[in-house]
Structure 1
């Protein structure tokens, strides 16, 4: 925006800003549609092994759909495309405590699109994987290092550990703008936001008569820690789904898709 608006006279900047915003939206939608196409092939491969009557069960964490981006989403784009293509998909939706983005946003999105889904407690993912009830995990990400480490909503790392232990593919969907080419080691170099403890000690929801209320969950005087994100090391990531295709979560993998950046 600064590059576009700075050279212009003040009287021309508003119109130019709207024009640039529209271009950014169109670019984002195109990137996410491409992510969806590349991720769709992964779901199709599982569906082919499942057969005509099989259901592909996908677990996701937090919200990485069209509420978070434009039109498609990142992690949800392949799921929407698979559903629209007639594949039988079912999504396990982590509640994503403490802000409950999965239970409120992702579940609402999937329901609006007609995608079969089930909301589960955050701690249920490992159990589902142990019992063969998850075929793949797809999550979004807020930041990816040039070596393939992934920073995403708190709890993502635990899902990756469970997936690794149970041989469940763990994929991360992202536009290339999410890659921070300046950062090598996610654990050492990505700062983690610590949010207010009230998000953990209280919860807001709808009562039976439709009112929105906030209630206390913890005893008075109990403290709360609230790290908002965690870092999943590249070794636990099956691969990255980008607008240019899929690649290993590694420096070489990313360099193969984005040689001009590497």
Structure 2
């Protein structure tokens, strides 16, 4: 009966949600240890930079990259988050900042290009980002701009961690740069920006001159060599085929 199928669909959706909560809570515990290690070394806030939105808006209850941050905050650790605006869709400035504010986590929104400067001046203790797809060798696809943050982190000796559930790993591919297709979105997302005017009314503003074109790749790939490690529900590991297989031997 149709009603029976609907009920079964709701039950399955509930099961998937519950699994997501369990996975992300486990990711949070694994990442929390990294934050605790930094907090134990000196007084003052642990400064974490993140990119795009990988919190409970994107998943359920905890998020991935933000789960360790929420847990650290709830444990009473002094934590502060540098929130990349994440142009052109501004998921950081709108979603991540909103989430952190609702949870009471100290945060500062920054222009996407400011991260390297902050790292040079010792103002970032670690980077934690999420990911949309990870190869079996540890390459990481995430929101456009992630690769540049990884380069800046490597140049400045800042740990660059990627938080992910195992369902994000694509065991069929090994070269993310060549094998992961990158979505090219509408140029209007670059040429225009959405926000609120002084009266609080949502509005759209054109940023570029008439007739200027725009390219809009939505993601980039960070090679595994730039990733300090992966934070999964089963533990942390190097961003390598061996590291992933040690945690998930059933895929060997």
Q: Which residue, out of 11, 14, 25, partners 2:17?
A: 25
Q: TM-score, normalised by structure 2?
A: 0.99
Deviations 1:121-151 (A, max 9, x none): 0000000000000000000000000000000
Distance 1:187 1:35 in 2: 26
SS at match of 2:250: coil
1:47 corresponds in structure 2 to 39
Per the TM alignment, residue 181 of structure 1 is displaced from its structure 2 partner at its CA by 0.3
1:66 corresponds in structure 2 to 56
Any runs of at least 4 consecutive aligned residues in structure 1 with deviations exceeding 6 A, and if so which?
A: none
Find out whether 1:227 has 2:217 as its counterpart. yes
Distance 1:10 1:149 in 2: 43
Per the TM alignment, residue 10 of structure 1 is displaced from its structure 2 partner at its CA by 4.8
1:13 corresponds in structure 2 to 5
2:163 corresponds in structure 1 to 173
Per the TM alignment, residue 12 of structure 1 is displaced from its structure 2 partner at its CA by 2.2
Q: Which residue, out of 151, 165, 180, partners 1:161?
A: 151
Q: Which residue, out of 105, 109, 113, partners 1:123?
A: 113
Q: How does 1:183-262 map to 2 (within 5 A)?
A: 183-262=173-252
Deviations 1:10-48 (A, max 9, x none): 552111110010000000000000000000000000111
Distance 1:63 1:210 in 2: 23
Per the TM alignment, residue 215 of structure 1 is displaced from its structure 2 partner at its CA by 0.7
Q: CA RMSD in A?
A: 0.7
Structure 2 portions without partners, runs of 5+ = none
Distance 2:206 2:178 in 1: 35
1:34 corresponds in structure 2 to 26
SS at match of 2:137: coil
SS at match of 2:115: helix
Distance 1:120 1:92 in 2: 7
Deviations 1:153-179 (A, max 9, x none): 000000000000000000000000000
Find out whether 1:104 has 2:94 as its counterpart. yes
Deviations 1:159-209 (A, max 9, x none): 000000000000000000000000110001000000000000000101111
Per the TM alignment, residue 261 of structure 1 is displaced from its structure 2 partner at its CA by 1.2
SS at match of 2:38: helix
Distance 2:101 2:170 in 1: 33
Q: TM-score, normalised by structure 1?
A: 0.95
